[in-house]
Amino acid sequence: MAEHVSVMLDECLSLLAPAIESAIAQGGEAVVVDATLGLGGHSRALLQKFPQLRIIAIDRDTAAIAIAQANLSEFSDRITVTHAVFDQISSVVRATGRSEVCGILFDLGVSSMQLDEKNRGFAYSHSAPLDMRMDASQGITAGEIINTYSREELVAILRNFGEEKFAPRIVDAIIERRSKSQLTDTIELAEIVKKAIPAATRRTGGNPAKRTFQALRIAVNGELDAITSAIPQALELLAISGRLVVMSFQSLEDKIVKEFFTVATASGTPRELPVEIPELAAKFALVIRGSKSASDDEQASNPRSTSVKLRAIERVAA
């Protein structure tokens, strides 16, 4: 497995620091939710920087949890790890006896570890079963979707989750292939996609299978539904001065986050009124105007950071 490097680590710490320091200064408990624990890089840095901090960590991948718990063993008295999807964030926090936290971090999408583990089926660069489940203990696999879904369902998945304009051509090629026998291998699927896309298009934009694999992964794991459910829960969990930091790695994720942040920071006062009505004022404020990308240096040293969009928001009123 390649060395794991946490994306935008310093930026995440800097954005969460004021909320953590405020909670400590007020004599309260400083608690941050790492909603996507992964291998524990962000949590480790936070625990090292803030000795009074406690972390509630969530991940749906049992293999990642096992590695993270080993990596964070020296902090075991300050971190609680739960195997769950992050759209259960409210119930996970409340199960610890808390109703609010000072910070929440989301690092969305597939992890480096999942891409590196060949048998998981997330990558199109080597042969593996068509699985793609982030939680390998349950749920439908990509192979089951590819081999059993109707043409209309498959086209919708590729269009909606992969923004793939050649979805009908790709699906027709998949259906023709699966009529002979089950399609089970990542390399074979990638080759089918490549052949279905016009040659002129294949020469630009990276691997032609990228959008199809993204679409299947999102469908298998219900990723966009989970984000849509989790972000409003996270906003509600924030204490005053608490901050939510979200890193997205593709446009569909980022669009959902942006829309929630836009609504949360909008005033309810009618525009024609000359003054703000206090009870209608926004309860949240953007910490970053728009989104932030990784630095050129980080993108050069950590290719996964190339597509990241980081957004942050703060609760300013109850």
Beta-carbon contacts of residue 226 (< 8 Å; ≥ 6 apart): 85, 86, 87
CA atoms within 13 A on the CB side of 247: 27
Residue 267: which CATH number?
Answer: 3.40.50.150
Residue type for position 4: H
Same domain for 227 and 203, yes or no, is no
Please write the tens of the pLDDT for every residue from 196-223.
999 888 777 788 999 999 999 999 999 9
101 assigned to some structural domain: yes
HEC secondary structure over 263-299: HHCCCCCCCCCCCCCHHHCCCEEECCCCCECCCHHHH
Q: What is the pLDDT of residue 278?
A: 81
Digit-coded pLDDT (tens) for 219-272:
999 999 999 999 999 999 999 999 999 999 999 999 999 999 999 999 888 888
Q: Is residue 84 a contact partner of residue 60, using CB atoms and an 8 Å limit?
A: yes
Distance CA 224, CA 157 (A): 12
pLDDT tens per residue across span 263-289: 999 988 888 888 888 888 899 999 999
What pLDDT shows up at residue 83? 97
Q: Mean of the pLDDT values across residues 29-43?
A: 96
pLDDT in tens, 85-100: 999 999 999 999 999 9
In a domain, 266, yes or no: yes
Question: Above 50 in pLDDT, residue 2?
Answer: no
For residue 204, the model assigns a pLDDT of 73
Residues 296 and 243 in one domain: yes
Q: What is the mean pLDDT of residues 175-189?
A: 97
How much is the average pLDDT of 146-150?
A: 98
Confidence band, pLDDT 50/70/90 cuts, at residue 57: very high
> Is residue 3's pLDDT more than 60?
no
Query: Quick count: other Cβ atoms within 10 Å of Cβ 277?
Result: 11
**Does 133 map to a domain?**
no
Give 97-137 pLDDT, tens digit per residue: 999 999 999 999 888 788 778 889 999 988 999 999 999 99
The pLDDT of residue 110 is: 85
Which amino acid is located at 170 in the chain?
I
In this structure, the answer to whether residues 200 and 54 fall within a common structural domain is no
Query: 285 and 299 share a domain?
Result: yes
Domain final residue pick, 175, 202, 221 = 221
Q: Are residues 102 and 236 in the same domain?
A: yes
Count helices and strands in the chain by DSSP H and E runs: 14, 7
**Residues contacting residue 73 through CB under 8 Å, at least 6 positions apart:** none
Buried b (16+ CB within 10 A) or exposed e, 172-204: ebbbebeeeeebbebeebbbbbbebbeeeeeee
261 shares a domain with 186: no
Mean pLDDT value across residues 66-70: 95
Which domain does 208 fall in, by range? 138-221
Compute the average pLDDT of residues 131-158: 97
